[in-house]
Amino acid sequence: MSAFAGLRVLILGLGVAGASAKDACDELGAQAVTVDPSGRADHTDLSGVDLASFDLCMSSPGFAPHHEWVRAVQDAGVEIVSEMEFAWRVRTPGIPWVLITGTNGKTTTTQMTGAILEAGGVDVAVCGNMGVPVIAAAREQHDAVAVEIASLQLHFTSTLSPHAAVCLNADEDHLDWHGSVEAYRADKARVYERVQVACVYGAHDPVTESMVENADVVDGCRAIGVTLGSPGLSQLGVVEGVLADRAFHDGRRHEAIELGHVDDLAHLVGGTVPPYLIFNALCAAALARALGVAPEAVTRGLSTFALDAHRTALVGRVGDVTWVDDSKATNAHAAIAAFGGHSPQSVVWIAGGLAKGQEFDDLVGAVKERIRAVVLIGEDPEPLASALAGHAPDIPVTRIEPGETVMVRAVHAAREAASAGDTVLLSPACASFDQFRSYADRGEAFAAAVEALDG
């Protein structure tokens, strides 16, 4: 950290990441110059900025590699680092980090990891894309740091060396930022570079398994597989409902030990625990076990864990119908996960929003057997409507016209379509900004409309 004293640091973007980086520079004696089009920074653009005078540039995640500012900094020969790389360089030394990335599930898994570590007596900073700036958390004194890290934050990361890391999945996302699915996955794979103890991956996922196989790790680092079946050597898995570990105990060559039970997660959902949630819990357990927590800490941590708001959150039950808020599902892959564990023709699905150029054929094909009816709420319903018409023409679809009461009308339409024992699932598969301020605003509108129903 003393190496930062006297450096000139250019900071692109003055959001949460940029502001946190500026504060760190001020504390370390570095001269920070900020650039942001909002007008709150030192400069609104690079006009008049002598790029060659800077020693380092911290680029916020909002600036893609092809952004003209990023290219200009690179052309000037200045090293560009991500928010995560910057945090690693200014961190309090000697504190192990665990990294969690993936197209879906990373917030839940990061928070689960934190809950297990806390149950094991570890003072952990849980940070990343969930409100706690990683740069600030990295400079505090903790026993460990658990970081949710996105592909955008991995691109300009070059020396970060975590204790353990996981890539939960790598479906298509942020292609406008990365340029291609290959580039997106290549950046996701960076999470495994320089890992010291454990690279955790889906044992039956060839994409993440290949990432681990090709990673340049510290000598002695192990590959730890996670499966929903019986675990093999160096794996975590499930045996007759028991969460089992054959990776982190001395007798792993001959037997697995119990970490907990699938039922430890039952309080999180209104029904059968979906497979994705079991997988997330096992990945979190693997990361925590890599840091040395006892097996019983996994049970304690998962039993008391609460899901992040708007991610398959149980809103309540009205009559014999369960209402679930999964407004955080802003892409098709996240919505597929939310259907796990539901019986055939038992879900009334509220979906739609800003499609972001997505196609929904695979989503509809994957979940159609579990749908009783669909309520569409987006300003442009055509992408989802076309996929439903093409792959599930017999499922009734109700279109809710845009307007101030869109969610109230959607909830009433869903109640009319639901039968006793059904689940009404708000899992839009789309962004919220066409009709709401955020996915949280959308979820809160759903919860309010459900609470207002005449039971």
Domain boundaries of the chain, sorted by first residue: 2-81, 91-304, 313-451
pLDDT tens column, 317-333: 898 899 999 998 888 87
pLDDT band at 301, cuts 50/70/90? very high
CATH topology of domain 91-304: UDP-N-acetylmuramoyl-L-alanine:D-glutamate ligase (3.40.1190)
pLDDT tens column, 28-85: 999 999 999 888 889 999 998 999 999 999 998 878 888 999 999 999 999 999 999 9
Q: List the one residue out of 430, 422, 336, 337 whose CA is nearest residue 376.
A: 430
| Distance separating alpha carbons of residues 147 and 125, to the nearest angstrom | 8
For residue 112, what are the CA distances in angstroms to 154, 265, 372? 22, 11, 32
In three state form, how does the secondary structure of 128-153 look?
CCCCCCHHHHHCCCCCEEEEECCHHH
pLDDT band at 130, cuts 50/70/90? low
Whether the per-residue pLDDT at 252 is higher than 70: the answer is yes
Out of 3.30.70.890, 1.20.272.10, 3.60.21.10, 3.40.50.720, the CATH code matching 2-81 is: 3.40.50.720
Report pTM: 0.76
| Distance separating alpha carbons of residues 243 and 120, to the nearest angstrom | 17
pLDDT band at 172, cuts 50/70/90? low
Superfamily of domain 313-451: Mur ligase, C-terminal domain (3.90.190.20)
